[in-house]
Each structure stands twice: as C-alpha cells, then as structure tokens.
Amino acid sequence: MKAIILVGGFGTRLRPLTLHQPKPLLPIFNRPFVSYQLDALKKGGVTDVVFALGYKANMWQRTLKKLVPSGMRVSMAIEKTPLGTGGAIRFAYEKLRNRGKSWDNEPVAVLNGDIFLNLDLPKFVSFHQKKKSHISVALTHKENVTNFGLVKFDRNGKITQFLEKPNQSKPGFINAGAYLFNSSLIQGIPKRSCSVEREVFPGHLKKGTPMYGYLLKGYWNDIGTPQTYLGAHLELIRLKNHWTQREFFRKRGIQKGSGVWLGRSVSLGRYALIGDQSKIGNNVSLKGTVCVGKNVRIDDDCIIEDSVIFDHCRIDKGAQIRKTVIGRKCRVGVGVVIKEGSFLGEETILTPFSKV
C-alpha cells in the first residue's frame, strides 16, 4: 500500500518552536513526531511513502533517512511554491507514479503531518472497500467544534455536508486529517494550488462521488499549536494506541537514556523521561510529567512541572518552570521563574532572576 504525508506547512501556529525546525520533526517523547506516523503506516501495511513538503526541505533531506523503518521506501516531493493540501496530494502522487509502480487498483492513504490519532489502518481500508467509497475521511468527535469545520453524514456513514466553523460552541464530528483516495480521483485534482478541504471534497460532494466518514475511536490531537503540542505529552503518557502498539510508559517513575546522571534527593512526580547524556542536579523536583531531551543540564534546586525541554539546554540553579515548552539550546538563568503557558524558541536566553 502507498501513502502520502502532507508536511509542507510553515507551522506558523506553533512558532517560535518552528522557526528553525519543521513542525513534524519536533520531538514527542524525544522522538521526531513524524517517526510515529511512519511506524504506524509500516504496521498498517504501507510500503511506499512520499512526503509532500517545501518548508526547510534541506533539513528534511538530512533527517528523514534516519527515521525510515526497515522495508519501507520513502521519497520527497519538494514544492517550489506552496500548493495547498489538494495540489500537494496531486504533486506527490505524480512523484510516486514516476517510480514505475501501478497505483491504479488500490486506495492511497493521505495523512496530515501534524495529527496524532488512534487509527487502525487495515480497518480503515476494509471500511473503504466495503462501502465502495471513492474517498473516505476519518472523523473524530469534539465537544466544541468552533475551531473546526463540521462534517455531516447519514446513518450509513455517507457524507452529506461539509460545514464551515460554527459561531457557537456545539458538539459534532470533524475532519481528523486522514483519508483514503481511489487513485483515479487523485489524478483529477488540478495541477495547481488548491485546498482538498475547501475545494476538492465539496466539489466531489456536488458531483455525487461516494464519500464516507470513518468514525475514529480513542485519542486524536492536532499538535499544531503550543498548547496542543504540550498537551500531547501530558495526555499520551498513559495511553496505548495503534501508533505505538504499547503504552509510552509501562509504570510510573523515571525512564532514562544512556549516560544520564542524577544527583542526590531528586524528587519525581508521575512520569519523567530523561534523554541521553543529560544531568539532573541535587534536590531537583520533577513534578507531574516532565520530558527532558538529550545533553540537557539541570542544576541544583530546580522545580520543573509538566514541561518539555528540548536537546542541549541549560537550566541554572533554582529555576522554576511550570507547563512550559523550551526549545533547543536555550539557557535559563539562576532563579528564573517561568509561569504556565510559556514557549521558548531555539537559543533563547533568560537572564538570572527574570520572570516570564
């Protein structure tokens, strides 16, 4: 089976974390997020993947080859100018067809590059085939859909309407960012910039193309904002789904990489993940869920709660950090207090005793 992953966006909602790094390459539990997508696709029977990308293509070229599971072929379709979700799918599809492989007799999986969801791909494909669907859209239920478009469907799952974001808070089903396309329909997408959500899907609905909604069960998260990115760490810590095939942590406590040094009287909360070669000083308190990257130094008497610290950071003595994401190569000075909801971009320096 073949798949396309859409990773061409600039990640503007997640700035400053994405100023130096594409959103799908940001770490989730010290692994690039997109590596979870690749593992899940491999387990679902996908053998060929193309990444539709543009932003920071050189970084993708350096990084991607390290993430590819054994037995999977991966390539990149690099856009010279942004093509939107629809144009990117068509462009990536042409890239794979040029390999000489026949795509015409099987559905093609398409994933947004910033979604974490509990998707059983073989069951999704079975649903698509059983319904004789031409386009299948994974749907997830939200209690408040004001930030999303609504998808309406009948009792058989056939999609009947795509609605813009409602003005009032209400529950409903939304597009979860995972699709199955019959390949002939991809060939019909215009070779230009266009939106699959606002142009391609509504256009096929008007034509009467069979489109069905597949209802997801379990976890779903769009990691496209700082709040949801941090939330993924706090929420996924005890969950088991088809992305991981197991819990991230089998028991409470600390999980250490190689070469980790822990000082005296380190206090642990529920879960702590410490990356390779990191050093945690004396009397440090790690509360709730804390994820620390590799080559990080946290000096004595620091308090860190429900936070994520990227690689190569230095946290000086007595700093207090709560519900914060700290980008790569940051320096947090002595006695700094960082309150809930802060997000520091790469190489940020906070002077001693400052408050954020």
pLDDT mean over 150-156? 90
Using the predicted structure, report yes or no on whether residue 5 has a pLDDT greater than 90.
yes
Most confident of 29-43, 225-239, 243-257: 29-43
Alpha-carbon distance values, 260 to 169, 249, 255, 313, 315 (Å) = 47, 18, 10, 14, 16
pLDDT in tens, 321-349: 999 999 999 999 999 999 988 999 999 99
Neighbouring-strand partners of residue 73:
48
Residue 56: pLDDT band by 50, 70, 90 thresholds? confident
- pLDDT band with cut points at 50, 70 and 90 for residue 249: low
Q: Which residue has the higher pLDDT, 308 or 221?
A: 308
Of 317 and 217, the one with more pLDDT: 317
* pLDDT value at residue 100: 55
Indicate whether 299 pLDDT > 90.
yes
> Which pLDDT belongs to residue 62?
84
What is the β-pairing status of strands 172-182 and 135-142?
antiparallel
pLDDT at 237 over 80: no
Given this model, what pLDDT does residue 102 score?
54
Task: Quote the pLDDT of residue 313.
Answer: 97
**What tokens appear for 201 in the block?**
């899907």
Residue 98's pLDDT band, with cuts at 50, 70 and 90, is low
The conformational region for residue 103 under phi > 0 = left, psi -120 to 50 = alpha, else beta, is alpha
Closest CA to 103 of 49, 30, 163, 26: 49
CA dist 340 and 99 (Å) reads 49
pLDDT at 308: 95
pLDDT on residue 39:
86
Count, residues in the chain: 356
Q: Which residue has the higher pLDDT, 147 or 285?
A: 285
Cα–Cα distance for residue pair 267/244, rounded to 1 Å? 28
Mean pLDDT of the chain: 87
Q: What is the mean pLDDT of residues 89-116?
A: 78
Region 271-293: mean pLDDT is 93
CATH number of the domain located at residue range(s) 2-236 in this protein:
3.90.550.10
Spell out the domain ranges in the chain.
Answer: 2-236, 253-350
Tens of pLDDT, residues 157-183: 999 988 877 676 778 898 899 999 998
Q: What is the DSSP letter of 8?
A: -
* Interval 130-155 mean pLDDT: 88
Superfamily of domain 253-350: Hexapeptide repeat proteins (2.160.10.10)
Predicted TM-score (pTM) of the model is: 0.86
Are residues 343 and 226 in contact, defined by beta-carbon separation less than 8 angstroms? yes
- Contact yes or no for 100/108 (Cβ under 8 A): no
Residue 244 reports pLDDT greater than 60: no
Is the link from the previous residue into 16 a cis peptide, with omega within 30 of 0? yes
